[in-house]
Amino acid sequence: MRCRYEGWLRDDSWFVEVRFTRLRGTSLVFVALVASVHRVLEATNPAHQKEPSFIVLGIEGKQSGVSNFWRQSGSFRTLKMGRGAGTAVKVSQTAGRLEKVRIGINGFGRFGRLVARVALERDDIELVVVNDPFISTDYMAYMFAYDSVHGQKCAMADIYAQDAHTVSFAGKKVAVYGQKDLAKIPWGKHRVDYVVECTGNYTDKDRAAAHLKGGAKKVIITGYSKDAPTFIVGVNERDYRPEHNVVSMAGCTTNCMIPLMKVLHDRFGVAEAQMTTVHSLTAITKSLEGPSLKDWRSGAVAGFNLIPSSTTASKAIGRLIPTLNGKIRSQAFRIPTPDASLVDLTVRFYRRVPYEEICAAIREEAEGKMKDILGYSDDDPVSSEFVGDSRSGIFDAKAGFAMADNFVKLVAWYDNEWGYSHRVVDLIVHMSSVQHSRYHF
């Protein structure tokens, strides 16, 4: 059986076409692929270095036996392939340039602004539209430039409202709208591919799908959704398929906990667990006492109270790791710090597992295939040291301990704003890579 894969490898603005034929020999595959790409890039770009930074768009070809993915390794991305994979038989230059992924943001609150920051720092994403009916472009520019937690992004001279419908972000002009009806936001007019739904108000799949009526191709919900397919980078993003038009990223706590739980469950088998997140302030916590009809305690003054609250993390884990469905309980405490939170995880395994073995497994994953998603620390950190950390969660080896042969306490830190915003953009890039991949069997 023959398999043809069409994708692109990118070095700066060049991209090349790659085809695989089903043959054995994984070492031959990797060597042939890299050698072929080097020859093409050296012929088309004299300044090409010996170890370029390139990526493959499209990551899987199950019918051919190909099981591969790219992971970051310094500035060079390496290819990991399974047995029986194909060998690169043809690499040819294709005329043209690889376009950036065009995104729009609905809701310019904490997550909206931070997703914008991450997007504007990357060269594979282009922010083209922001919609928020409650703020002017002048105020939008001000809030983006100044952030009490993450610092000043740039001088106000570099970010300003050009007019009532345009903000210039350090020379990049972004269209601004104030539509309350999602279907009327003109995403299609600006060729927006992906809309990041950051308001927290449209977490149902059908309601978020209203963005598609305005011309958006895909919608990413930044929060838990009871009915939208949920994808967590480092856990199940490879399950994404082009027919998924509205997806959820779950919440920041879920993004911290799930990669850690996946390591524990895959390696040792989790019988049950209880998770408590000690969570920093959010936009819904109050500086003065006020009404909170759904959760009365959340109406208390956040600045000098520890407030018991709820989290959707345990709901999400049953959908992401089905064998753990019903085995995880979770709760939250809001604390008076502006950013950086921690997950306190109590786990019972089916068998005896020494704490040192758990630490070694987490460290191996953090330095391997979960690099830049799951972190590992054997220092003595405190919460403020994780403000601005782009990883989903950082395991604290010294903070945990064994309570019995199969019963442990584990702690992981996370920047509940910055790390999550990076994963949102990572998921968009992955979704785009799948959209641009075509398999022919």
Distance between CA atoms of residues 329 and 115, nearest Å: 30
- Checking if the pLDDT of 389 tops 60, the result is yes
Q: What pairing do the DSSP bridges indicate for beta strands 246-248 and 218-221?
A: parallel
DSSP-assigned letter for residue 154: S
Residue 246: the pLDDT is 98
Residue 53: the pLDDT is 37
DSSP-assigned letter for residue 416: T
Residue 68: CB partners within 8 Å, gap ≥ 6? 56, 59, 60, 79, 80, 81, 82, 85
Residue 154: the pLDDT is 58
Max mean pLDDT range (48-62, 253-267, 290-304, 424-438): 253-267
CATH number of the domain at 252-416, please?
3.30.360.10
Specify the CATH number for 101-222; select among 3.30.160.60, 3.40.50.2300, 3.40.50.1950, 3.40.50.720: 3.40.50.720
Distance between CA atoms of residues 123 and 18, nearest Å: 23
By three-state DSSP, how is residue 322 classified?
Answer: helix
Among 13-22, 327-336, 424-433, which is the least confidently predicted range?
13-22
Give ranges for CATH 3.40.50.720 in the chain.
101-222
- What helix, strand, coil percent values describe the chain, rounded to 5? 30, 30, 40
Task: Give the sign of the dihedral formed by CA 381, CA 382, CA 387, CA 389.
Answer: positive
User: Side chain identity at 193, as an amino acid letter?
Assistant: D
Residue 56: the pLDDT is 39
| CB of 124 closer than 8 Å to CB of 135 | no
Q: Rounded to a whole number, what is the distance in angstroms from the first to the last CA of the chain?
A: 8
Number of Cβ within 10 Å of residue 221's Cβ equals 26
| CB of 427 closer than 8 Å to CB of 237 | yes
Task: Place 236 in a pLDDT band, splitting at 50, 70 and 90.
Answer: very high
Residue 439: CB partners within 8 Å, gap ≥ 6? 3, 4, 5, 58, 61, 63
Average pLDDT score over the chain: 80
- Checking if the pLDDT of 22 tops 70, the result is no
- Checking if the pLDDT of 61 tops 50, the result is no
| CB of 26 closer than 8 Å to CB of 83 | yes
| CB of 440 closer than 8 Å to CB of 412 | no
Residue 70: the pLDDT is 32
- Checking if the pLDDT of 387 tops 80, the result is yes
Range 372-377 average pLDDT: 98
Among 5-19, 40-54, 246-260, which is the least confidently predicted range?
5-19
User: Side chain identity at 364, as an amino acid letter?
Assistant: E
Task: Place 284 in a pLDDT band, splitting at 50, 70 and 90.
Answer: confident
Residue 158: the pLDDT is 85
Number of Cβ within 10 Å of residue 48's Cβ equals 17
Give kind and range of the element (H or E) at residue 270: strand 270-279
Range 107-119 average pLDDT: 95
| CB of 274 closer than 8 Å to CB of 403 | no
Q: What pairing do the DSSP bridges indicate for beta strands 87-93 and 101-106?
A: unpaired
| CB of 313 closer than 8 Å to CB of 254 | yes
Max mean pLDDT range (157-171, 268-282, 294-308): 268-282
The residue with greater pLDDT, 257 or 287, is: 257
Question: For the chain, how many residues are written?
Answer: 441
| CB of 216 closer than 8 Å to CB of 239 | no
The residue with greater pLDDT, 21 or 334, is: 334
- Checking if the pLDDT of 93 tops 90, the result is no
Distance between CA atoms of residues 248 and 229, nearest Å: 6
- Checking if the pLDDT of 62 tops 60, the result is no
DSSP-assigned letter for residue 112: H
The residue with greater pLDDT, 305 or 426, is: 426
Give ranges for CATH 3.30.360.10 in the chain.
252-416
- Residues catalogued as catalytic: 252
Residue 302: the pLDDT is 77
Percent residues over pLDDT 70 in the chain: 75
User: Side chain identity at 81, as an amino acid letter?
Assistant: M
Task: Place 255 in a pLDDT band, splitting at 50, 70 and 90.
Answer: very high
- The closest of 440, 441, 438, 433 to 193, measured between CA atoms, is 433
Q: What digits encode the pLDDT tens for the residues 144-171?
A: 988 889 887 655 558 889 999 999 988 8
